[in-house]
Amino acid sequence: MAGPINLGIPAETTIAELAETIIGLTGSQSRIEYHAQLIDDSTRRRPNIEKAQAALDRSPGVHLETSLEATIAYFDELLSGNPAGAGDNPTNEKICGRPDRPKIQAAE
């Protein structure tokens, strides 16, 4: 297989929506700053994941918010000074049967 392959979910999410979701999930007091758009910046971002689906014979099965919750829990544990136990937290079960990834529930 040659060339770049997009991984992710084929749902369009703005950077503002992503930032707002992360702030909400973490309870952060961060403020979102808006700046002028770059001249050559794409206004739409929706990854085409067809190559990855064909090559891996898999489709995304987890909602973005669920993935973010697992990622936040992992880094909370890691940054708390317990890097060896980061994968042992009950909220960080295994993802897709891989022992090195936190588990998150599949989207219904």
The candidate with the shortest Cα–Cα distance to 71, out of 58, 60, 62, is 62
Residue 102 has a CB neighbour count (10 Å cut-off) of: 20
**pLDDT attached to residue 39:** 84
**pLDDT attached to residue 59:** 81
User: What global pTM score does this model have?
Assistant: 0.63
Which residues of the chain register pLDDT less than 70? Answer: 83-108
DSSP label of 3: S
CA distance 24 to 33: 16
